[in-house]
Every structure is written in C-alpha cells, then in structure tokens.
C-alpha cells in the first residue's frame, strides 16, 4: 500500500558513499578475486548456480527469521529436494551441488547423505558393499546419515555405549542400547529424514573357546536401515526422532536413536579394513587409523569454509561501517561538518581490520591444507600411513584455531555495528547461530588440541633423542633447528626505526611454537607431570603451533618469484600479513616474550605500528572485501549490500516485508483478547501452549 514514506530518502546517500570508497583505492578487484577464488572454477560456478537459485521463489530468504522450528525444517527439506531436481535437470556435478548448498546457506537435511554417509561407505566399505550400496546412494533410493555421537559421549569415540554383539547361532549382529546415555544424539538428518544410518557401535565377539564371554573390538561402522521404505516409520526395535530446537541449524533434523536388540545381517559391518568370519573371528586388514580419514577430510573442508565465513562477516561490517556516521570529529571546529564515518574510528578499525587481514591469512593456509590433504591421500591409498600423523595433527590444530577465529569474528563484527547488528537486517543472525556449532562439531576445539600437543611432544622427544635424523616434515626441521640454536638465542626485534622486519616475524612465531613444544616435552616427558594438570599449557601450545602455520604460509605466498597481481595489491597484502601478525603478537605478547621469541621492549612499539598499518589499509578496506565476491543474495544483509542502500533496505524489511505488521493487537490488559477484533479471548493461545 503506498504511503508518505515511499518518497523519503536517507540523509546520506549510501550508494555514493561506497562508490567514493571504491574510487579511492586502485586495487584491481577482479584480478584479486580470481587470485583468491579460481580453484575449481569457483567464481564462474558461483555465478551460474546463483542465477538458477535466486530465480526460484522457494529459495527466497525473506521470512526465515520469522519461521518456527518445524516450518524451518519443512522449508529445509523442500529446498533440498528442489536442489536435487534442479540439478538433475541441468546436469550438475558434485561441485555444483555443493555450491547450491553453500548459496542456499542452511544445513540441508541431505547434507549428511552427500558427505559423511557416502564417504564412509566409499572409504570403509568392501568392494562388494560398495557395488551394492553406492548406486542406491547416488540415486537417492535411500537417504543416509552418520550416527556416531551419543547422548553421553561426544569427542571420545572409544567411550561409545551402543554395542553390536555377534550371535554365533544366527551369524548376525544384534545392535543394542544398554543405557539411556547410549542414545545416538546430534546426528544430522537422522531425526526425520534418513532411511539408513551408519551406526558406530562397539563390536563384541565371543572369546574363543568361552561361550558366554565377549571381547570388545572397539567402535566399528555398521550400515543399518532405520525406517521402512514405504511408510517411512521407524523399524521395529528402533526408536528414532528429532532432538528439538537448537541455537542454530533449524533446517536440520539432528536426531536421537535407540536400539532394542535390533538384528542386522553380517554384511552390515563395513568391512574394507575389518571383518568378522562366519565363526566369529575378528580380522583386520590395513591400518586402523584410517577410520579417522573421513574425519580429517571434514576438518580440511571446515578450514576452507572458515575463510569465506569470516570474509562474509567482514564484508557486512566494512560496508556498513563505511556508511554509518556517528558524532562529529571532536577536534573539529567546523559546526557544519558531517558526522564521522564510523570506520574512521581507530576503536572500530582495531576490531574489524585485523579480521580483514585474517581472511587472507586463512586463505593461504587453506590452500596449503588442500595440497597437504591431496598429497597425503595418495600415499594412504598406496598403503603408506606415514603422513597421516602430520595431516591429522595439522588439520585438528588448524580446525580448532580457524573455526574459533571465524565464530568469534562474526560476533565481533555484529557488535561493531552497534544496535543494527542485533537486528535481522544485519544478515549475521542466522550465520552466527549456524556457525557457532563449528567449534564443537567434529571434535570439541578444546579437546582436539590435546591431540596436537601429544603429537608435538612426540616429535620433540624424537628430535631430542636423535638430533641428526633426516627431517621428514617441516616440524622436524623446525625442532632440529631450535635444539641446535637454543643456547645461543637472541630475542628478535620486530618493529624498529627502520621499519617492520617480516623475517623476524616469521622467526618469532616459529620460535615461540618450538619453545612451547620444548617446555611441554620437559614438563611431560622429563618431569613426568600429570597430563590433566598440563592441559591449559597444551592448549596454548596447539594455538601457537597453528598460528605459526598461518604466519609461515602467509609469508611464503610472497616468496614466489613474481607476484601474479598488479600494484598496489601485493603491497596491500603484505600490510595484511603484518597486521595479522602484529595484532596476534600484541594479543599474546607475554607468550612471545616469555619464550624469548622477541624482546620485551619491542612489544611496546606494537600498538603504534598496528595503528599505522590500519591507517594504511583503511582506504582499501571496501575493495578488499569486494574481492571476496560474496553475492548480495548470500549475504542477505541490509547492512552489507554492495550498493550501499542500507537504510532503504532496513526500512523495506521492517515496513513492507514484516508479517507482524499485518496484525493489529489489543494492548489493553483488562481485555483477554490478543488480536484486536478477533474476540479470541486468549483461548487459541492456551491451546497452543
């Protein structure tokens, strides 16, 4: 309905403001975008899939925040189905489907089917099992999920309570939940969607020669039908359902599941690496550590994803803060002067610009991880498990650091935007809620850092014992160099009158990681301190080690002989490198000085150097976020629109697209009526409670 507000304009023109920002920097955005996002044809694919999805009414994002949980799931399922139908029609490949899920930006009830479920069958199924199951999976004749974690058990797979007991008479397994805490819990797509599940259960086989005693062979994967094909009702002996609302992931039916002596055939055990013979004997072929292979793959993906999440939050923040004005400059004497752009405040810059720099730090490490994973995968397939340790360790430490950085940064960006950051128009409400699960899924961040520390202690022990062994990986090189130069170390000076010393930065991060590893080795191996007491120290070690990886990889990107990028981009990226490094150094200053990585005096100069770097980066901020090429449709943010029409869009969402405004309420407490004129008397409501 037209009204007088249709002709109102914001006091400052956001579009012109952003244009002026873009004109003030000579960075070539297209070139930088290609540099960052050309792997697997990302940019071209993004555009192509976006064109398809954004035209479908079903994928309109307007009302998501108004919907109840059951409606969100309904919509999530409807969209997942539609994506499959569209993809088949257009002949999409795997990457296209992934792109569609990324752009649709909610957890799909098919997500586990197309990731963990199929990957596990492919990696852990025997040839025969693969031939039977894979066509059904690809064709969506069955829908799968992955049931590992339980109500009482998360990170510790060995502690799972669900059992799969061998019945020697019928040569079958009996899957059973002996306690309430054995209930499978949190498993995506299991609550309402899936027909089949990979169930991880403790494999119990009779002890040889003793009829009624069983031996535990550890957690193993079973492929199990959980709902009937026709009716979609749970199979007899299974109770399965959705676990209810969560902080985020509203579109996903995370589930619970219990088994009552549920029988499955012998062929349910995925048997590429383990098997049970007809007479109940356990055999193992290959390396058991490979069971963690798919977990490592998921972590690698999470890290690659983290940079885009972070980029998204920073894109919204930078654009809005370049438009939002607040207070005149206090030192200005001109009464008529406009209020200042918030992004010009150092208190705002220090929250946002280091995060902008971090997006690039994550990028170069993501590329490195990708390479490391591909390289190790080939050798694992050949039966050589040597590199798995380095891969597993690097992936878990980085996963912990990157997801924590990304999760925290969404919230930092949201708050930096003041009141409007709290509104749905920020576009950060759902992403914040959905992404917050990342620090806990696939291994609690605080728990998996212990694996990293254990690995580093082991490496340091080896380096101390055999200082002259041939170095097998970068960690060996680092530790051996550290041990050789430990006694003659002079702490570095990072910032001096001649400027910032980049090599000293890399050296300082590496030294700190090596020194903390050595201290952990001393405490654990030499002084034999209890593990539990060392945990805080070990967590800090993992973080330091991962930060070292980020800094080293970022720095290595400058070493390639000629940069493919035109001026001033390489120089700007180098400032990002410095800002990320110095900001981290400043945040953990005492850890750097206590390990002799840098001199205490040089930490005092950090704040001024950081402020100067931010002043230098400030003019390029809008173009740097532009380069991440996050489409407006994905941002779904009034504040982060690429055309700067912030206030027009906020108002449009509130006024024209808000269902609450279609209703007139009765505010008088004397009347029980809630919706005016309905005469409801609160009765409908009580029925809903």
Cα–Cα distance for residue pair 677/488, rounded to 1 Å = 85
Task: For residue 484, count other CB atoms closer than 10 A to its CB.
Answer: 11
Binding of residue 403 to other proteins (CB under 8 A): no
x/- contact string, 151-190, with other proteins (CB under 8 A)?
xxxxxx--x-x---------------xxxxxxx-xx----
Of the candidate residues 37, 224, 391, 534, the single one contacting other proteins (CB under 8 A): 534
- Least gap, CB of 467 to other proteins (angstroms): 27
Token duo for residue 159:
């502690």
Binding of residue 604 to other proteins (CB under 8 A): yes
Nearest residue (CB) to other proteins, 73 versus 297: 73
Cα–Cα distance for residue pair 139/137, rounded to 1 Å = 5
Nearest residue (CB) to other proteins, 432 versus 553: 432
Of the candidate residues 33, 340, 464, 565, the single one contacting other proteins (CB under 8 A): 340
Task: For residue 492, count other CB atoms closer than 10 A to its CB.
Answer: 19
Q: Is 172 left (phi over 0), alpha (psi -120 to 50) or beta?
A: beta
Which of 319, 340, 324, 352 minimizes the C-alpha distance to 643?
319
- Least gap, CB of 88 to other proteins (angstroms): 8
DSSP strand pairing (144-147 vs 196-206): parallel
Cα–Cα distance for residue pair 317/307, rounded to 1 Å = 15
Query: Radius of gyration over alpha carbons of the chain, in Å?
Result: 28
Residue of 339, 442, 559, 612 marked active site: 442
Of the candidate residues 93, 95, 215, 672, the single one contacting other proteins (CB under 8 A): 672
Binding of residue 532 to other proteins (CB under 8 A): yes
Q: How far is CA 446 from CA 155, 388, 453, 538, in A?
A: 10, 21, 11, 10
Nearest residue (CB) to other proteins, 14 versus 221: 14
SS (H, E, C) 293-348: HHHHHHHHHHHHHHHHHHHHHHHHHHHHHHHCECCCCCCCCCCCCCCCEHHHCHHH
Cβ(103)–Cβ(46) under 8 Å?
yes
Nearest residue (CB) to other proteins, 451 versus 480: 451
Nearest residue (CB) to other proteins, 247 versus 558: 247
Residue 547 annotated as catalytic: no
Nearest residue (CB) to other proteins, 327 versus 382: 327
Count of positions on this chain that bind other proteins (CB under 8 A): 155
- Residues across the chain: 689
Task: For residue 595, count other CB atoms closer than 10 A to its CB.
Answer: 20
Helix axes 388-416, 445-465, angle to 10 degrees: 140
CA–CA–CA angle 558, 563, 566 (5° rounding): 125
Binding of residue 292 to other proteins (CB under 8 A): no
162 marked among binding-site residues: no
Binding of residue 245 to other proteins (CB under 8 A): yes
404, with CB counted inside 10 A (0-12, 13-18, 19+), is middle
Binding of residue 649 to other proteins (CB under 8 A): no
Nearest residue (CB) to other proteins, 275 versus 612: 612
Cβ(283)–Cβ(383) under 8 Å?
no
560 marked among binding-site residues: no
Of the candidate residues 339, 381, 384, 643, the single one contacting other proteins (CB under 8 A): 339
Binding of residue 473 to other proteins (CB under 8 A): no
Site for other proteins in 100-139 (CB under 8 A): 109-110
Of the candidate residues 47, 60, 68, 216, the single one contacting other proteins (CB under 8 A): 68
Binding of residue 650 to other proteins (CB under 8 A): yes
Site for other proteins in 410-429 (CB under 8 A): 411, 414-415, 418-419, 421-425, 429
Site for other proteins in 75-104 (CB under 8 A): 77-78, 80-81, 84-85
Residues facing residue 187 across a β-bridge: 255
Of the candidate residues 60, 138, 233, 283, the single one contacting other proteins (CB under 8 A): 233
Site for other proteins in 3-42 (CB under 8 A): 3-5, 8-12
Which of 475, 446, 448 minimizes the C-alpha distance to 461?
475
* Binding site per annotation, positions for FAD: 149, 188
Residues designated catalytic: 442
């Amino acid at each position: 309905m037209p009204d007088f507000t249709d002709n109102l304009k914001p006091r400052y023109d956001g579009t012109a403001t952003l244009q002026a920002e873009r004109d003030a920097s000579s960075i070539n955005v297209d070139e930088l975008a290609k540099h960052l996002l050309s792997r697997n044809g990302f940019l071209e694919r993004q555009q192509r899939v976006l064109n398809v999805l954004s035209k479908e009414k079903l994928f309109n994002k307007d009302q998501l925040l108004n919907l109840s949980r059951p409606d969100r799931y309904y919509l999530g399922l409807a969209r997942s189905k539609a994506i499959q139908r569209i993809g088949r029609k257009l002949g999409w490949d795997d990457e296209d489907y992934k792109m569609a899920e990324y752009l649709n930006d909610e957890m799909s009830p098919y997500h586990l089917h197309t990731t963990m479920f199929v990957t596990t069958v492919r990696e852990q199924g025997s040839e025969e099992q693969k031939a039977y199951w894979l066509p059904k999976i690809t064709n969506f004749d069955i829908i799968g999920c992955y049931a590992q974690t339980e109500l009482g058990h998360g990170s510790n797979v060995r502690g799972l309570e669900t059992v799969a007991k061998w019945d020697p008479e019928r040569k079958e397994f009996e899957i059973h939940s002996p306690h309430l805490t054995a209930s499978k819990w949190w498993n995506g797509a299991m609550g309402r969607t899936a027909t089949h599940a990979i169930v991880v259960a403790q494999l119990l086989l009779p002890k040889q020669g003793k009829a009624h005693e069983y031996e535990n062979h550890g957690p193993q994967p079973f492929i199990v039908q959980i709902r009937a094909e026709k009716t979609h009702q749970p199979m007899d002996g299974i109770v399965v359902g959705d676990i209810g609302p969560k902080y985020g992931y509203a579109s996903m039916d995370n589930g619970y599941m219990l088994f009552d002596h549920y029988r499955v055939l012998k062929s349910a055990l995925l048997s590429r690496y383990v098997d049970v013979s007809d007479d109940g004997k356990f055999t193992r072929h290959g390396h058991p550590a490979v069971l963690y292979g798919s977990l490592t793959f998921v972590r690698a993906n999470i890290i690659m994803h983290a940079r885009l999440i972070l980029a998204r939050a920073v894109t919204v923040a930078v654009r809005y803060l370049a438009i939002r004005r607040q207070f005149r400059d206090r030192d200005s004497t001109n009464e008529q002067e406009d209020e200042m752009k918030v992004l010009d405040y150092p208190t705002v810059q220090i929250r946002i610009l280091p995060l902008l720099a971090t997006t690039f730090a994550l990028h170069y490490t993501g590329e490195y991880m990708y390479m490391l994973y591909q390289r190790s995968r080939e050798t694992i397939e050949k039966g050589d498990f040597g590199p798995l340790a380095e891969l597993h360790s690097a992936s878990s430490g980085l996963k912990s650091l990157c997801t924590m950085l990304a999760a925290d940064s969404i919230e930092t960006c949201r708050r930096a935007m003041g009141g409007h950051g709290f509104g749905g128009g920020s576009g950060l409400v759902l992403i914040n809620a959905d992404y917050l699960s990342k620090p806990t899924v696939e291994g609690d961040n605080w728990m998996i850092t212990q694996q990293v520390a254990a690995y580093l202690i082991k490496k340091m022990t080896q380096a101390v014992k055999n200082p002259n062994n041939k170095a097998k990986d970068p960690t060996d090189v680092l530790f051996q160099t550290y041990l050789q130069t430990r006694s003659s170390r002079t702490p570095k000076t990072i910032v001096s009158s001649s400027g910032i010393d980049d090599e000293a930065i890399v050296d300082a991060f590496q030294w700190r990681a090596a020194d903390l590893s050595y201290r952990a080795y001393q405490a654990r191996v030499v002084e034999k301190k209890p593990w539990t007491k060392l945990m805080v120290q070990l967590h800090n070690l993992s973080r330091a080690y991962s930060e070292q990886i980020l800094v080293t990889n970022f720095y290595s990107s400058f070493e390639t002989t000629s940069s493919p990028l035109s001026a001033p981009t390489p120089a700007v990226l180098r400032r990002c490198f410095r800002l990320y490094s110095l900001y981290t150094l400043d945040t953990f200053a005492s850890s750097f000085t206590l390990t002799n990585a840098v001199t205490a005096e040089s930490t005092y100069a950090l704040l001024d150097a950081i402020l100067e770097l931010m002043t230098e980066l400030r003019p390029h901020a809008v173009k740097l976020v532009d380069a991440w090429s996050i489409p407006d449709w994905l941002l779904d943010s009034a504040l982060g629109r690429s055309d700067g029409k912030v206030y027009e869009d906020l108002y449009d969402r509130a006024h024209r697209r808000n269902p609450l405004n279609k209703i007139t309420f009765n505010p008088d407490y004397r009347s029980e009526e809630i919706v005016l004129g309905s005469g409801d008397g609160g009765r409908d409501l009580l029925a809903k409670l």
